[in-house]
């Protein structure tokens, strides 16, 4: 944040990084500049006057020679390289009358970092799998105990390791390995979750390999699968990679995958697909990390209950049928190769336990990663996605539920919805008089569609400017060609086709808004219901933790404005990132977490919204922007009133 | 033992069963009758006069009409059906002068029976695998806990079962099975060896199957493999069957099998062969027992260390190489199907632990079955075979070793050696004046060869009558054509070819006797060395337990006469039968034994004879009949002196 940019006539100052584009700086500051082409300089609308300081670039054929000489630049092409004073041309006096009521500056959630050094300081950095180098006494006529006995006795007497076991596959290898290493070997030991459990010797290698101990963490999302390689000596992430879950071609959401799994070979196919993707990711990340497959000692995997059961090839049929029963919530450790994961025979797979059919291992992993189960503050944990998972609680108790939000936030059920890849409209502002938009796309490319965080902001801005009402219906009386009826459906055109990559106008439609409202309504009302069931109110929440793919991009003000998040100081909102992956990572690094996870799972009370009578009432009330009950959102209410007066 | 038979002129009375042949009655009584044809009536030598009572049969064309009318019968064809007085025709006065010095009556070891009722009384009849019928509460909207959780909680709260685990394969089946049985299921639980271990739920079946719980016990011998089906409700043996170990075609003994296993694919081939034989046996015994494969909950297998490693596909190479190291002495329980055993996926395989490369699970099983580890009496346990295993001790300590006896007792290295199948000479007597033999064959068929117990008796009788000396060399000066030199080798003809099935004279040769002396010398000197190493003497032994295929047929007097067994009251010798199989059976019936077996294995001190210096001296001393040191055998010494005076 080296440079300060002052926008005139608003007198708003933001701090931005070197080389940030001026249009992003404006969006950050809550300043509207008409802009349609996604930052490619072709629409020529984002003309600004550089009054002090210098920018890099900013010139295109859309700017006349004269304007250039006066100091005009296109904001989308200008890179900030020094402190600046920038004037936004105002088209009418009305514009300036709203100087002090423009939207507050953009707030995204603080990112929560997990700190390995902290784990180390707390004595918690004890990976569940440890390597110990052993210099055994060679066998002699006087001491010809069995090879396995020799190893176990050495560990017992020289390293104080007790309750050791070894499985048959490893016993098979021991005689040759022990001699290959001339009685110098490295033992890999898997620690039990319970302190009185067995320590399993999972591998024996010749010579000293104790400094080569790696783990893989995998989050199996319904949509995407992510993997990381971790160095268990340092706790560092050595590489990571994500791919779409190729089960998608058999069904976009959980229910359609379960239905597919119920067909002949369906379960086998979905199982194979996810294993293939995991193996592709492993291939890439171990190559990037420059490690050998056999050096990976554990792989921790988390997913929702359906993803977990498909991974493990367990019929998920009863998850979708009343009364929604998963096969199991805990799974024993097993050898990764047993389910076809392309790692060595000795690599142990650890599956994150879940709570119920719709609160799976992914959310438990996130909760473990967030540390909320150790906190005193009443925390709302929300994993935003097609299947939104919500947990509320602190160190003494925890309740959780899942809300079927639908795919609106992930680009589904939205006419021009897409995932947050290049060309997706991710940020948006609207001129409250002309209703001309300002857009920012991922990668500053011409627009292709709208991603989840874009949808939230667009909806909030349309609401604030009165383009839509609290039911998500367009104000048909506004004087702008952007609000129009196509094929009998009302819509607002965000980008005209000449400025898109798709040669079609990109618009947001009433059905899109309907889907979005249902999605946010499902999540908010689930949180409200949970709170009510335990006798608390929405404003008792002291902290919000967001997880999920796009949580870091969400403009918190917008999310509150549409009623997705309860009204809270944005400072109290933290973004965890991929909570599931982070939970897997921490699980790989510390056995302490593995011990806690059972406690947390047992502590968590699950509510099925479908069988909680008050849920439907809350849901109906939440099908408004922000909510029927505006008293839940006093600040939003005040702001909307001020903006529209 | 319904009938009493009095033999004249010896005035010896024996009790025999109905339908016993007269020649077997005579052998039992220690009465010699010349007999060569194995009981088929063709040699006509065994003419006896029935003076009182009646026999069935006994008539052949070898008897003249006149003799028949006088009451002469052929002993081998006569069946005892009433009390009898039988006169043996004596060919000379000399015969009668020996009336009171003929060999004592035949003594075989008492058979030790394992008593299930006793186990039950002692509270020890607790099979390691139990079935429990569960009537679960069906899942409802209010109680939709995971299926596995429902089962575990029911077992915990209704049956006080703790520390329960379930593996992934079973978890996969649970959701469908639980509904198939309409929430009525039977859980199969494997008990841990340690009381604080985990109880593994190994199977869940729909409805109540708790009364169908079976085990299989398998002894994997180098030569033969035996299997039994046991009913775990009653403890009864439902069926049993044995087959030759088909590994034999890759090597008769352990060493040659290990050498084969060292070749490419050798280990895989030997592993497959033993698995095939086990599967053949299982096929037969479950059919005979009329049970389903899936009803077998455990299979316990015992074998020597090499057989165990070949079964488990573990390179046995280091077993035969100095310093003779086995891979492991304990093996964890695993799923029988994991190594290709054709039982259900849930069937648990338990492998008997061993002590060393040459004291394997078979002898540990036998020791467990014998109960000697619970006894106060100093016991010598001897498993006679190619690899003779010996243990000495009682409840406080135990030492063990293995002696490489060579295959003489199993028919190997003996010119006409054979296993104890039909036509094998199993018993023998010799006229001390004419040197004419009396033979009894297995199945009363014409002779084909000599089995192990036959070799022992033949050697003892030849020694007693001075046909051979204490070094096993023939007295070439005796006046009988049966002692002769063929191809430069001295031999005694037991049966001339016209009375054999093989159209060759069956003889015992000096090299045969050499091999037998080495075999018995190895065993006796191993026992002697063990005793000396712990500061005891041979006559401290209070009890002998014999195990192995042919232990019940051995004439104990003969075994003592040749110096195979120490001199002891034959009443103190017990025959255990197939100790390994019996140990497996008891292991299937009681968990208590499984707990003890670890203790016994840890308590047992193994001595390698090759690295015990005194062994070679003892072995050299034992290469005499009965021994160089005749003071070890005072009674044999006295008897030999009396017989030869």
Among chain B residues, the shortest Cα distance to A353 is held by B146
* Residue A443 and residue A422 in contact, taking contact as beta carbons nearer than 8 Å: yes
A144 to B313: CB separation less than 8 angstroms, yes or no: no
Q: CA B391, CA B543: separation in Å to the nearest integer?
A: 12
Residues A501 and A562 in one domain: yes
Q: Is residue A1 over pLDDT 70?
A: no
List the single residue in B with minimal CA-CA distance to A175: B327
pLDDT tens-digit readout, A338-352: 999 999 999 999 999
**According to the model, what pLDDT value does residue A327 have?**
97
CATH number at residue B66: 3.10.20.30
Would B211 be classed as within a structural domain? no
Judged by CB atoms closer than 8 Å, whether chains meet at A148 and B324 is answered as: no
Determine the pLDDT at residue A90. 72
- Among the partner-chain residues A141, A147, A317, the one whose CB lies closest to the CB of B608 is A141
A167: chain B residues, CB-CB within 8 Å: 332, 334
More confident residue, B587 or B223: B587
What percentage of chain A has pLDDT greater than the value 90?
A: 68
pLDDT of residue A101 exceeding 70, the answer is: no
- A283, part of any domain: yes
User: Which of A177, A206, A235 is the last residue in one of the domains?
Assistant: A206
Residue A351 shares a structural domain with residue A372: no
CATH code for position A251: 3.30.420.480
Helices (H), A128-167: 147-159
Nearest by CB to A331, from B171, B339, B611: name it: B171
* Best residue of A144, A195, A612 to probe chain B, by most B CBs closer than 10 Å: A144
pLDDT, position A115: 65
Give the model's pLDDT for residue B421: 86
Task: Tell me whether residue A363 is in a domain.
Answer: no
Q: Which of A206, A234, A251 is the last residue of a domain?
A: A206
Does B172 contact A147 at a Cβ distance shorter than 8 Å? no
pLDDT for the residue numbered A344 = 96
Order of strands across the sheet that contains B12-16 = B12-16, B3-8, B84-87, B47-52, B72-74
pLDDT of residue B100: 47
Task: Examine the domain organization and report whether A234 and A146 are in the same domain.
Answer: no
Q: Which residues of B touch A148 (CB under 8 A)?
A: 327-330
Mean pLDDT value of segment B3-27: 88
Tokens standing for residue A223: 């949509």
Residues of A in contact with B180 (CB under 8 A): none
Average confidence (pLDDT) over B569-581: 91
The rounded Cα A473 to chain-centroid distance in angstroms is 30
Provide the shortest C-alpha distance from residue B371 to chain A (in Å): 25
DSSP SS3 for A316: coil
Calculate the average pLDDT of chain B: 91
Q: Is there a contact between A555 and A389 (Cβ–Cβ < 8 Å)?
A: no
A32 or B382, which is more confident: B382
pTM score, whole prediction: 0.83
Three-class secondary structure of residue B410 per DSSP: helix
Q: Specify the DSSP class assigned to residue A30.
A: T
Query: CA–CA separation, A276 vs A272, rounded Å?
Result: 6
Indicate yes or no: CB of B329 within 8 angstroms of CB of A148.
yes
Give yes or no: residues A532 and A403 share one domain: yes
Gap from B379 CA to chain A (nearest CA, Å): 25
Considering only the beta carbons, identify the residue of B142, B146, B322 that sits closest to A328.
Answer: B146
Choosing from A302, A331, A358, the residue where a domain stops is A358
- Decide if B361 contacts B304 (C-beta within 8 A): yes
Does residue B547 sit in the same domain as residue B438?
A: yes
* Closest chain A residue by Cα to residue B200: A332
pLDDT for residue B113: 67
A473 found inside a domain: yes
Higher pLDDT, A78 or A551: A78
Closest-CA distance of chain B to residue A150, Å: 9
Contact (CB<8Å) A312/B608: no
- Looking at the structure, do residues A642 and A553 belong to the same domain, yes or no? yes
Domain span at residue A168 reads 128-206
| CA of A156 vs chain B CAs: smallest distance (Å) | 15
User: Across the interface, do B141 and A608 touch by the CB < 8 Å criterion?
Assistant: yes
Q: Is pLDDT of B420 > 90?
A: no
Q: What is the mean pLDDT of residues A382-407?
A: 89
CB B359 within 8 A of CB B308: no
Nearest to A318 among B145, B175, B315 (CB): B175
Cross-chain residue pair B172–A314, CB shorter than 8 Å: yes
Quick one: A374 and A461 in the same domain?
yes
pLDDT tens per residue across span B350-382: 999 999 998 899 999 999 999 899 899 999 999
Mean pLDDT of B601-623: 92
Higher pLDDT, B550 or B627: B627
What percent helix, strand, coil does chain B show, rounded to 5?
A: 35, 25, 40
Q: What was the pLDDT predicted at B99?
A: 47
User: Minimal Cα–Cα distance from A229 to chain B, Å?
Assistant: 25
Q: Name the band, by pLDDT with cuts 50, 70 and 90, for residue A61.
A: confident
Nearest-Cα distance to chain B for A370, in Å, is 25
Q: Do A314 and B141 touch (CB under 8 A)?
A: no
Angle of helix A168-180 versus helix A147-159 axis, rounded to 10: 80
Question: What pLDDT does residue B105 have?
Answer: 60
List for chain A the helix, strand, coil content (%; round to 5): 35, 25, 40
The shortest CB-CB distance from A323 to any of B141, B168, B176 is to: B141
Question: Measured at the alpha carbon of residue B171, what is the angle toward residues B167 and B175, in degrees to the nearest 5?
Answer: 165
Q: Tell whether A539 and A490 lie within a shared domain.
A: yes
CA distances from A583 to A127, A165, A579, B568 (A): 13, 28, 6, 72
Amino acid B104: pLDDT: 54
DSSP state of B405: -
Same domain, A15 and A49: yes
Partners of A283 in beta bridges: none
Dihedrals phi, psi of B634, to nearest 5 degrees: -60, -40
The crossing angle, in degrees rounded to 10, of helices B510-533 and B452-464 is 100
Residue A575 confidence (pLDDT) above 60: yes
Q: Where are the beta strands (DSSP E) in A474-540?
A: 483-486, 489-495, 506-509
Q: How far is A138 from chain B (nearest CA, A)?
A: 10
Q: Do B140 and A323 touch (CB under 8 A)?
A: yes
- The pLDDT score that the predictor gives to residue A36 is 83
Residues of chain B with Cβ-Cβ distance to A171 below 8 Å are: 312, 314, 327-328, 331
Min Cα–Cα distance to chain B from A316, Å: 9
Q: Reduced to 3 states, what is the DSSP secondary structure of residue B328?
A: coil
Peptide bond into B548 cis (omega under 30): no
* Per-residue pLDDT tens digits for B80-110: 999 999 998 876 444 555 544 445 566 777 7
Most A CBs within 10 A among B153, B166, B175, hence the mutation to make, goes to B175
Structural element, H or E, at residue A441 = strand A437-441
Separation CA A185–CA B113 (nearest Å): 47
Shared domain for B156 and B256, answered yes or no, is no
Kindly state whether residues B468 and B326 are assigned to the same domain: no
Q: Residue A136 sits in a domain of what CATH number? A: 3.10.20.880
Question: Does position A311 have pLDDT exceeding 90, yes or no?
Answer: yes
Contacts of A384 (CB under 8 A, 6+ apart): A405, A409, A452, A523, A546, A547, A548, A550, A551, A554, A564
Chain B neighbors of A145, CB-CB under 8 A = 325
- Per-residue confidence at A95, pLDDT binned at 50, 70, 90? low
Q: What is the interface size between A and B, counted as CB pairs within 8 Å?
A: 134
Query: In A503-534, which positions are buried (b, 16+ CB within 10 angstroms) versus exposed (e)?
Result: eebbbbbbebbbbbbbbbbbbbbbbbbbbbbe
CA-based diameter of chain A, in Å? 102
Q: How far apart, in whole angstroms, are the C-alpha atoms of residue B372 and residue B445?
A: 39
Q: How far apart are CA A189 and CA A185, in angstroms?
A: 13
What distance in Å separates the CA atoms of residue B137 and residue A1, rounded to the nearest whole number?
A: 61
Distance from CA of A607 to the nearest CA of B (A): 9
Share of chain B above pLDDT 90, in %: 68
Contact A188, A345 (CB under 8 A): no
Percent of residues, chain A, with pLDDT higher than 70: 97
Please name the residue of chain B whose CA is at the shortest distance from the CA of residue A173: B314
Number of domains observed in the structure of chain A: 4
Structure tokens that stand for A14 in this block = 């933001």
Shared-domain flag, residues B353 and B365: no
- Choose the mutation target among B141, B166, B168, B316 for the interface with A, i.e. most A CBs under 10 Å: B168
- Count other C-beta atoms under 10 Å from residue A322's C-beta: 13
For residue A196, give the nearest of B146, B196, B323 by CB distance.
B196
């Amino acid at each position: 944040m080296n440079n300060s940019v002052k926008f005139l006539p608003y007198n708003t100052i933001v701090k931005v990084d070197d080389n940030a584009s001026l249009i992003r700086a404006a969006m950050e500051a809550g300043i509207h500049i008409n802009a349609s082409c996604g930052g490619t300089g072709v629409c020529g609308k984002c003309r600004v006057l550089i009054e002090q300081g210098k920018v890099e670039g900013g010139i295109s054929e859309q700017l006349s020679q004269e304007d250039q000489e006066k100091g005009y630049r296109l904001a989308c092409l200008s890179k900030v390289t020094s402190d600046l004073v920038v004037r936004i041309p105002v088209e009418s006096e009305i514009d300036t009358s709203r100087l002090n009521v423009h939207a507050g500056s953009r707030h995204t959630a603080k990112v929560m970092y997990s700190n390995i050094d902290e784990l180390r300081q707390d004595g918690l950095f004890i990976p569940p799998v440890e390597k110990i180098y052993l210099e055994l006494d060679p066998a002699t006529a006087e001491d010809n105990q069995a090879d396995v006995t020799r190893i176990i006795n050495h560990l017992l007497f020289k390293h104080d390791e007790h309750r050791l076991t070894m499985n048959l596959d490893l016993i098979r290898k021991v005689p040759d390995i022990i001699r290959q290493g001339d009685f110098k070997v490295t033992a890999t030991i898997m620690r039990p979750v319970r302190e009185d459990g067995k320590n399993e010797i999972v591998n024996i290698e010749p010579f000293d390999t104790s400094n080569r101990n790696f783990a893989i963490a995998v989050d199996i999302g319904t949509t995407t699968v992510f993997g990381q390689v971790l160095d268990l000596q340092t706790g560092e992430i050595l590489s990571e990679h994500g791919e779409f879950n190729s089960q998608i071609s058999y069904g976009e959401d959980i229910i359609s995958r379960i239905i597919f799994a119920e067909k002949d070979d369906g379960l086998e196919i979905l199982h194979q697909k996810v294993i293939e993707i995991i193996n592709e990711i492993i291939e890439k990340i171990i190559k990037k990390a420059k490690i050998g497959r056999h050096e990976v000692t554990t792989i921790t995997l988390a997913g929702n209950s359906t993803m977990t059961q498909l991974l493990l090839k367990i019929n998920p049929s009863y998850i979708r049928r009343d009364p929604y029963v998963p096969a199991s919530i805990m799974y024993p450790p097993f050898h990764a190769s047993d389910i076809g994961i392309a790692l060595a025979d000795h690599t142990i797979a650890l599956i994150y336990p879940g709570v119920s059919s719709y609160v799976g291992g992914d959310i438990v992993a996130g909760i473990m990663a967030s540390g909320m189960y150790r906190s005193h503050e009443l925390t709302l944990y929300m994993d935003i996605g097609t299947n939104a998972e919500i947990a509320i609680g602190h160190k003494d108790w925890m309740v959780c539920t899942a809300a079927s939000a639908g795919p609106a936030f992930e680009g589904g059920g939205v006419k021009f919805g897409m995932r947050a890849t290049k060309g997706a409209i991710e940020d948006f502002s609207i001129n409250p008089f002309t209703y001309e938009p300002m857009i920012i796309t991922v990668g500053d490319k011409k627009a292709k569609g709208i991603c989840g965080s874009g949808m939230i902001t667009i909806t909030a801005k349309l609401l604030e400017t009165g383009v839509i009402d609290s039911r998500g219906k367009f104000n048909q009386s506004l004087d702008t060609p952007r609000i129009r009826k196509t094929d009998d459906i009302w819509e607002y055109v965000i980008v005209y086709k000449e400025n898109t990559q798709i040669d079609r106008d990109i618009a947001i439609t009433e059905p899109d808004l309907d889907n979005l409202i249902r999605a946010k309504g499902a999540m908010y009302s689930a949180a409200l219901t949970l709170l009510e069931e335990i006798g608390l109110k929405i404003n008792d929440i002291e902290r919000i933790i967001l997880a999920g793919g796009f949580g870091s991009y969400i403009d918190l003000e917008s999310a509150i404005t549409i009623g997705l998040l309860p009204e809270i100081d944005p400072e109290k909102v933290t973004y965890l990132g991929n909570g599931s992956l982070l939970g897997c990572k921490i699980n790989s690094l510390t056995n302490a977490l593995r011990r806690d996870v059972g406690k947390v799972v047992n502590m968590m009370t699950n509510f099925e919204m479908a069988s909680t009578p008050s849920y439907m009432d809350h849901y109906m009330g939440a099908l408004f922007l922000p909510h029927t009950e505006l008293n839940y959102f006093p600040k939003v209410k005040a702001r909307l009133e001020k903006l529209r007066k």
